[in-house]
Structure 1
Amino acid sequence: MLIVPEREIAGLITSKAAFEAVEDVFAAMSSGDAYNFPVVREAIGHKDALYGFKGGFDRAGFTLGLKAGGYWPNNLEKHGLINHQSTVFLFDPDTGKPVAMIGGNLLTALRTAAASSVSIKYLARADAKVIGMIGAGHQATFQLRAALEQRAFEKVIGWNFHPEMLPNIEKVATEAGLPFEPVDLPGMAEADVIISITSAFSPSLMADHVSDGTHIACMGTDTKGKQEVEAALVARAKVYTDEVAQSVTIGEAQHAVTQGLLAESDIAQLGEVINGTDPGRTADAELTLFDGTGVGLQDLAVAAVVVDLAVKKGIAIEVDF
């Protein structure tokens, strides 16, 4: 079995490679060549942590495995560790033998950013100029960097429940040569693209905060009860997701569906747009929303890329397991 430690990941994977891997996974899921296993994600009753497993099998990419991990909200403050902690395990689809164990912290941030970035590529207006960020934590910086590669944005605006964290995303904007402006939530009406990446259990972005023609990527809701945007906003949009079953149970759409504002049949897979079986955005004034619940296949895809690169560079550690 091969081991690729967390400390090696940054030197192996690029945002471009993560984007391509996630884009391929979306396409494979839509065509029926890949499927995810049911998610296990629970509060463990210790340190306010959420822990669980995501996995799946991608016949097209020939990857089988799972990611184990979760969210420890006190890690940064009390232990100097990022709050998201995870590890990816890959298995041989032919034999079931364990193939690799890969540090999953940076990979999680990269694949999550890649997912929203893919949604921007296929759903945002071509002339989008202003990008709005809701959330300014560790993952928000990855989200913004990936998004800026998809459109010729001219300005970044941002809101965070704790305003003192906004310099995190302002730094990314400055590095890209773009102006940054803190705004209140109604100020998000200026944005052509909005990325929401928080761990909230009550909505901050409301329907009247968003203008027609906007594309919204909701990337923080991956657990029953979590919510970043008002259910009425989800119902107002043309909704796409990574996995419909997750969208209606643990994703942002769960609240609109529960309230009867949206039907499961109203939600499409982003892979359908990639494969050309769904037209995606059909008008500039259309409001589109991507419900990024996070699927195990994304983790497996980027992990497989990392393993291949680690072997080529002689970095992978081989153990007799």
Structure 2
Amino acid sequence: MPKLAIVPEALCPELVDEDAAFEAVSKAFAAMAEDKASNFPVVREAIGHADALYGFKGGFDRAGMTLGVKAGGYWPHNIDRGVTNHQSTVFLFNPDTGQPSALVGGNYLTAVRTAAAAAVSIRHLAREDSRVLGMIGAGHQSAFQMRAAVRQRHFEKVVAWNPHPEMLPRLAETAKELDLPFEAVELDQLGAEADVIITITSSFAPTLLAEHVRPGTHIACMGTDTKGKQEVEAVLLKAASVFTDEVDQSVTIGEAQHAIAEGLVDRAAITPIGAVIAGLHPGRASQDEITLFDGTGVALQDLAVAAVAVERARERGVAQEIEL
């Protein structure tokens, strides 16, 4: 009899580390570029209760035979209840029969797969001699981003800025764990020093401006995943070579939505990062080129890391199995 595997949230950090997430997300992006996988239209709505946003992201990876959906969203008052604001669960299905195959806690996996996407962009687009990592944002996701990023280049220092400076000690502690010097700086200094910049905020107005960014910088914009959100000045996308996880999402809910609306960037000029991974695009063209990755977050990332969690949970005998 088919069985449904349940992998609770608490087990996921033990099952999927940064390296496993990186590998899973890389494969999903490559499958997308090779037309072997596709994401379904995103549903994301205010539910009219608890100020919450709730939605669904689904997709099917024919290369990895992974079919499923992530359901969840953002409950801004959860912090007062001692619960994480972002809540999600991944449901996997047997692509041959449509029967449910797994139910996986999605909170940690969302964080680690988002960081993995930024790390993938650093691996394939940042200059090899990148030594200073710039962080804009100091929320829950920021520590995941730093840990994943430092696995891709030999960074020697972290510089950071946050609209609420009192939150920066979180990043300072993470840098200390990674044995990296840390400095809180203003945005102009961050741009002057950083070879790689990760933005991970929930901003609806640009903080990083074109004048802050020097030639040769790689920028991973990881916070914009909804209409209206914006982390960087739209003209910066005109100055950069723009890559993304999925073009459709980039131009509608990602950082590119503003540059497209202002006529600064043409959709055809935006390249899926999977094309670089699969060897269909050369990636960075020169040392002075500014590269920008618009990480909007796609369902196939969630499904890929959830599939890894299920596989490892079953191998270790820690998945809860229920007969259908």
Tell me the equivalent position of 2:275.
272
- Residue type of the alignment partner of 1:42: E
- What is residue 44 of structure 1 aligned with on the other side? 47
Give TM-score scaled by structure 1 length.
Answer: 0.98
Q: Does 1:53 align with 2:24?
A: no
Question: How far did residue 33 of structure 1 move?
Answer: 0.5
Of 217, 240, 243, 1:214 maps to 217
User: SS at 1:122's partner residue?
Assistant: helix
Report the equivalent of 1:200. Answer: 203
Q: Deviations over 1:153-177 (max 9, x none)?
A: 0000011111111011111111111
Say if 2:20 is the partner of 1:11.
no
Unaligned runs of 5+ in 2: none
Q: Within 1, Cα distance between the matches of 2:75 and 2:183?
A: 30
Query: After the TM superposition, which of the residue ranges 5-14 and 54-63 deviates more from structure 2?
Result: 5-14
Aligned residue identity for 2:37: A
Give the residue type in structure 2 aligned to 1:18: A
Q: Are residues 1:303 and 2:306 paired? A: yes
1:317 aligns with 2:320: yes
> AA paired with 1:119?
S
C-alpha separation in 2, matches of 1:9 and 1:241: 26
Q: Give the match for residue 182 of structure 1.
A: 184
Matched to 2:156, the amino acid is E
Correspondence 1:243 to 2:246: yes
User: What is the match of residue 94 of structure 1?
Assistant: 96
- Runs of 4+ in structure 1 off by over 3 angstroms are none
Cα deviation for residue 47 of structure 1 reads: 2.5
More deviation in 311-320 or 237-246?
311-320
Partner of 2:309, secondary structure, is: helix
- Please point out which of 99, 108, 121 is paired with 2:123: 121
Partner of 2:77: 74
Q: Tell me the alpha carbon deviations over residues 224-267 of structure 1, each in whole angstroms, 9 at most, x when there is no partner.
A: 11111110112211000000000000000000001101111110
Establish whether residue 21 from structure 1 lines up as the match of residue 24 from structure 2.
Answer: yes
The alpha-carbon deviation at position 318 of structure 1 amounts to 1.2
Give, in whole Å, the separation in 1 of the partners of 2:110 and 2:39.
16
156, 162, 165: which one aligns with 2:158: 156
1:223 corresponding residue in structure 2: 226
**SS in structure 1 at match of 2:148:** helix
Paired residue type of 2:40: F
Aligned mates of 2:75, 2:159 — CA distance in 1:
28
Question: Aligned equivalents of 2:36 and 2:181: distance in 1?
Answer: 42
Report deviation, 1:41. Answer: 1.2
Of all paired residues, the percent bearing the same amino acid is 65
Structure 1 residues 42-101: Cα deviation after superposition (integer angstroms, max 9, x where no partner): 22232322211111000000000000011222322x111222110000000000000000
CA displacement 1:13-55 (0-9 Å, x = unmatched): 1110000000001110000000000111122232322211111
Output the CA distance in 1 between the equivalents of 2:312 and 2:157. Answer: 35
Structure 1 position 319, deviation (Å): 1.8
Establish whether residue 287 from structure 1 lines up as the match of residue 290 from structure 2: yes
Counterpart of 1:116 in structure 2: which amino acid? A
Q: Distance in 1 between matches of 2:47 and 2:259?
A: 27
Partner Cα distance (2:77, 2:251) in 1: 28
2:135 matches 1:133: yes
Structure 1: tracts of 5 or more residues without a match? none
Aligned length: 320
Q: TM-score, normalised by structure 2?
A: 0.97
Q: What is the deviation of 1:4?
A: 0.4
CA displacement 1:183-222 (0-9 Å, x = unmatched): 1111222100000011111111111111111000000110
Cα distance in 1 for residues equivalent to 2:49 and 2:240:
37
Residue of structure 2 aligned with 1:170, choices 160, 169, 172: 172
In structure 2, the residue corresponding to 1:298 is in which secondary structure? helix
Aligned to 1:106: 108
The 2-side partners of 1:22 and 1:237 are apart by 24
**Paired letter, 1:56:** G
Alpha-carbon RMSD across the aligned residues, in angstroms, is 0.9
1:116-161, Cα deviation, whole Å (9 max, x unpaired): 0000000000000000000011110000000000000000001111
